[in-house]
Amino acid sequence: MAAIDRTVLQFSSSSSSSPTFSAKVHPLVIFNICDCYVRRPDQAERIIGTLLGSVLPDGTVDIRNSYAVPHNESVDQVALDIEYHHNMLLSHQKVNPKEIIVGWYSTGLGVTGGSALIHEFYSREVSNPIHLTVDTGFTFGEGTIKAYVSNNLSLGDRQIAAQFQEIPLDLRMIEAERIGFDTLKATTVDKIPSDLEGMEASMEHLLALIDDMYKYVDDVVEGRVAPDNKIGRFISDAVGSLPKLPPSAFDKLVNDSLQDHLLLLYLSSITRTQLSLAEKLNTAAQIL
């Protein structure tokens, strides 16, 4: 790639009153970026890579996957392994053909001088790519994650700067992803929780959320907290989505599901025992 010779301007989301679109990133992408950063070469200060996903009907960019791209970076130059990038893209699209390039990522806090040059390359791969930054150095005591889009500022026919505008980024996850997230973010894990342990942890989390909801409703009724119509609608939708089952039918449904799960565990244990016995008998027959 060519040398870095353009000014880079970075703007926060508060400086734009009406962002054109937003982005949503899945936890797998963040874990993948952090894993690549830990495994980076010793001389590399940061890593960059490609973001894969799709554009939702409402215009939101859904970032679902990523892969790192080898690069060399100096004070005034950036070089990407473009052949590796294209080979990885073809491999990913064989598995998930609906995933396309939606942008690129880099570790570190905010954009740097080389970001404009890399962004220009990805602009040739896809129109209006997203630039995702993950602060793996925990500059402010936490891993700051931000998303940007870029526009070129020109004076006549001359491009004088690249403007990176921050856009809204959704980091929320569904409950199934949260269970894996809570397991992977721990510094030490003795073992991966079983299905029953995962269900127990989910129920404990659900009970804690219900207690918080009860406390909030009581505070609003007693006048200790100002009512919020948006929160009230969320609570109403959550209560309205619950199935109207009598307690006896709900208990029977849970117990039947639990018995089916225990039966599968028992059958899998018998299968492992049978395979182990067959292996030992086969070994004994070969010796004799």
Sign of the torsion formed by the C-alpha atoms of 156, 161, 163 and 164: positive
Can you tell me the distance from the alpha carbon of 238 to that of 211, in angstroms, rounded to the nearest whole number?
14
Can you tell me the distance from the alpha carbon of 129 to that of 168, in angstroms, rounded to the nearest whole number?
14
Q: What is the pLDDT of residue 218?
A: 92
* pLDDT tens, N- to C-terminus, the chain (288 residues): 544 455 555 555 554 444 567 889 988 888 888 888 888 888 888 899 999 999 888 888 999 999 999 988 776 677 888 899 999 999 998 988 889 999 999 998 777 777 888 888 888 888 889 999 988 877 766 678 888 888 776 666 666 667 788 888 888 777 667 766 666 655 555 666 676 777 787 788 888 988 998 999 999 999 998 988 888 898 888 888 877 778 888 788 778 877 887 888 888 889 989 888 888 888 877 776
Can you tell me the distance from the alpha carbon of 267 to that of 271, in angstroms, rounded to the nearest whole number?
6
Q: Which residues make beta-bridge pairs with 158?
A: 155
Can you tell me the distance from the alpha carbon of 242 to that of 228, in angstroms, rounded to the nearest whole number?
22
Q: What is the pLDDT of residues 74-90, one digit of tens each?
A: 766 778 888 999 999 99
In this structure, what token pair is assigned to residue 174? 């569904």
Can you tell me the distance from the alpha carbon of 78 to that of 196, in angstroms, rounded to the nearest whole number?
50
Q: What is the pLDDT of residue 18?
A: 41
Question: CA angle 71-8-161, nearest 5°?
Answer: 115
Q: What is the pLDDT of residue 90?
A: 92
Can you tell me the distance from the alpha carbon of 124 to that of 104, in angstroms, rounded to the nearest whole number?
12
Can you tell me the distance from the alpha carbon of 152 to that of 130, in angstroms, rounded to the nearest whole number?
15
Q: What is the pLDDT of residue 215?
A: 92
Based on its alpha-carbon atoms, the radius of gyration of the chain, rounded to whole angstroms, reads 26
Dihedral of the CA atoms 13, 58, 8, 158 (nearest 10)?
Answer: -130
Can you tell me the distance from the alpha carbon of 234 to that of 134, in angstroms, rounded to the nearest whole number?
31
Decide the pairing of beta strands 130-134 and 61-69.
unpaired
8 phi/psi in degrees, rounded to 5: -115, 125
Q: Are 132 and 171 in contact (CB under 8 A)?
A: no
In which residue ranges of the chain is CATH 3.40.140.10 found?
A: 23-171
What architecture is domain 23-171? 3-Layer(aba) Sandwich (3.40)
Instruction: Quote the DSSP letter at residue 200.
Output: H
Q: What is the pLDDT of residues 218-254, one digit of tens each?
A: 999 999 989 888 888 988 888 888 777 788 887 887 7
Q: What is the pLDDT of residue 184?
A: 60
Can you tell me the distance from the alpha carbon of 166 to that of 181, in angstroms, rounded to the nearest whole number?
26
241: left (phi over 0), alpha (psi -120 to 50) or beta: alpha
Q: What is the pLDDT of residue 87?
A: 92
Q: What is the pLDDT of residues 134-158, one digit of tens each?
A: 888 777 666 788 888 887 766 666 6
| Distances 8 to 102, 147, 152, 189, 215 between C-alpha atoms, Å | 21, 15, 10, 42, 48
